[in-house]
Amino acid sequence: MANLSATLVSRGGFEHHAGCCWTGQGCRHYASQVTPRPHLLAALLILAVLGCLWTRTRPQPLGLYDQSFYLGIAYDLVHHGRFTDGFRFAGGDDTTPRPPGMRFTPLYPAFLAASASVSPDLRAGMDCIVRVQGRGATCSRRAGPVRVLQFLMLAGCYWMIWWNAARYARRIRTGWIALGLALLTAPLLLLSVDYLMTEIVSLFLFLLATTLASRGLDGGTYRARYAAAAGLALGLAVLVRPGFMLLAEASLLCGLVLAAASHRARRRHLLLWCGFAAGSLAPILAWVLRNLFVMGRAALTYGYASHTLVQRISFDSMSWRQYGLSFVCWLPDGNGIGKLLSGARACDPFGWDDHPDSFYAIGIGPMLVQTLRASGGYAHHMSYLLHHYLLRDPGWHVLVTIPLALRGLYVDHYWGLVLGPVCAVMTIAAVRRQDKRFLLLALPAWFMLLFNASVAVNQVRYNLMLILPLSLSGALAVEGWLRRRSRR
């Protein structure tokens, strides 16, 4: 392991090459080599690869998984002009005007509602889903505008991965290697393109925030503008997935600490922090103020957080034997090794609601009902879970978080299993070297991985933002190997 660490973090793997060449016409600084040609070539390559793969996918029914959550709220936006909790949580049917709600953040339902207003097929499918209460296997599956936009956002995500890798290494070849590694995950991400859920939009906004913040590190007149734009992108990501709120808070706190610790450039750091804070808080405060005036609650959501946490706390009831087995049952092979070692049904507790005795099924079923009844409803549900479950044995909760974090790390199965340790070694090395640019590209994704494993039934689709640092780390490792080989 020591040799691997030394190999991956050698100067050959991390060096910023001022002599990189975009055009092959000599050694000049990266910034002076930026021409439209490689950017356009990367975009065309991405669109070609994604387009070929997308033709092989098949749109799924709109009633699968969480799609009806967002479609129900979009339906009420289109027909009644207000945000609600949707028919899945507020009840009623297509003839029932539902009261205002704030269970979910608003941006993705608004995105669906706007798309439905220009797409009769999507509107018909959405109306059908509400009419049949989510059991719409026969409803129209067409959602052209949404899927096309999500496809373009995914293409933008891969382009930002290419751009960030090339810019970090100051070598265009590194960008191509990172892009090649990232595109191996395209079949997985194209599945999210076809589902009307938040994965692609949240990934796009997360990578946009990261890219803008990285661009702001380069200095120049517009640093504060980049910081504000990065904050705005992150604030919009919060309105897609409320879990990003903790990342926004952590980013603001870290920025303030760094500004306070900086003596020579404190004023400049404070200016950047103010720009980021203004950009991120503007959309969040707009939604919180709406909830205060309409719902009487100055909060981001109501009921969503504790409903998610109770599912995660259910996993804390596993025994020591099950704890050891979880590392095996959640391997990328899909329970095969676990069943081979411990029996055909050994991994059933770690599955989903297809097994009624699984931790997830218990958490979303009887445990949710029991804790809601004991706490008196969602108003006190979170505090009840914290005091009666999580804080009773926080050490065990932390231990259970480890296999859940590994479960979310295995993006696209063995792709994440291989590149995850590489990225972890490089991140630790970057901390030691105080490599701010690499940490900016990697730490937010690691932070969200641990956060999701701590408060939710961590799934790969929650952690797609890891694709950027894992692809970058893999590309840097390949670059180091290529340079050592060329020297020999």
> For the segment 185-232, what is each residue's pLDDT rounded down to a tens digit?
999 999 999 899 999 999 999 999 999 998 887 766 568 889 999 999
According to the model, what pLDDT value does residue 366 have? 92
102 HSE (CA, 13 A, CB side) = 17
CA–CA separation, 471 and 420 (whole Å)? 10
Number of domains in the chain: 2
Q: Which residue has the higher pLDDT, 266 or 206?
A: 206
| Percent of the chain residues topping a pLDDT of 90 | 57
Torsion angle (degrees, nearest 10) of CA 47, 50, 52, 56: -150
According to the model, what pLDDT value does residue 94 have? 77
In this structure, of 59-73, 101-115, 453-467, the range with the lowest mean pLDDT score is 59-73
> Cβ(108)–Cβ(201) under 8 Å?
yes
According to the model, what pLDDT value does residue 25 have? 35
pLDDT above 60 (res 41): yes
> Is 386 part of a structural domain of the chain?
yes
> Is 162 part of a structural domain of the chain?
no
According to the model, what pLDDT value does residue 12 have? 36
CA–CA separation, 422 and 443 (whole Å)? 14
Expressed as residue numbers, the domain containing 345 is 304-392
Mean pLDDT, residues 439-449: 95
Q: Structure tokens of 404?
A: 């859940």
pLDDT above 80 (res 449): yes
Mean pLDDT, residues 239-263: 88
Q: What is the DSSP letter of 392?
A: G
Helices (H), 389-466: 394-409, 414-433, 436-455
Tell whether the torsion through CA atoms of 473, 476, 482 and 484 is positive or negative.
negative
pLDDT above 60 (res 390): yes
> Is 14 part of a structural domain of the chain?
no
Q: Structure tokens of 78?
A: 């289109």
pLDDT band at 456 (very low <50, low <70, confident <90, very high): very high
Q: How far is CA 21 from CA 115, 162, 174, 414, 481, in A?
A: 43, 16, 11, 33, 19
Where among 100, 123, 142 does a domain terminate? Answer: 142
In this structure, of 60-74, 260-274, 421-435, the range with the lowest mean pLDDT score is 260-274
| Percent of the chain residues topping a pLDDT of 70 | 89
pLDDT above 90 (res 351): no
According to the model, what pLDDT value does residue 401 have? 95
Mean pLDDT, residues 21-44: 58
Write down the mean pLDDT value for the chain.
86
Where among 108, 142, 176 does a domain terminate? Answer: 142
Q: Could you report the per-residue pLDDT of 131-189, keeping only the tens digit for each?
A: 888 776 678 888 878 999 999 999 999 999 999 999 999 889 999 999 999 999 999 99
According to the model, what pLDDT value does residue 443 have? 95
According to the model, what pLDDT value does residue 34 have? 45
According to the model, what pLDDT value does residue 423 have? 96
According to the model, what pLDDT value does residue 75 have? 92
Helices 394-409 and 436-455: angle between axes, nearest 10 degrees: 120
Q: Could you report the per-residue pLDDT of 313-339, keeping only the tens digit for each?
A: 999 999 999 999 989 888 887 766 766
Where among 352, 375, 392 does a domain terminate? Answer: 392
According to the model, what pLDDT value does residue 152 have? 96
CA–CA separation, 299 and 306 (whole Å)? 13
According to the model, what pLDDT value does residue 24 have? 34
> Is 53 part of a structural domain of the chain?
no
CA–CA separation, 209 and 315 (whole Å)? 33
pLDDT band at 353 (very low <50, low <70, confident <90, very high): low
According to the model, what pLDDT value does residue 386 have? 93
According to the model, what pLDDT value does residue 221 have? 58
> Is 415 part of a structural domain of the chain?
no
Q: Give a three-class secondary structure readout of 304-321.
A: HHHHHHHHHHHHHHCCHH
> Is 458 part of a structural domain of the chain?
no
> Cβ(371)–Cβ(303) under 8 Å?
no
> Is 130 part of a structural domain of the chain?
yes
- CA-closest candidate to residue 161, choices 480, 450, 474, 478: 474
373 HSE (CA, 13 A, CB side) = 6
> Is 244 part of a structural domain of the chain?
no
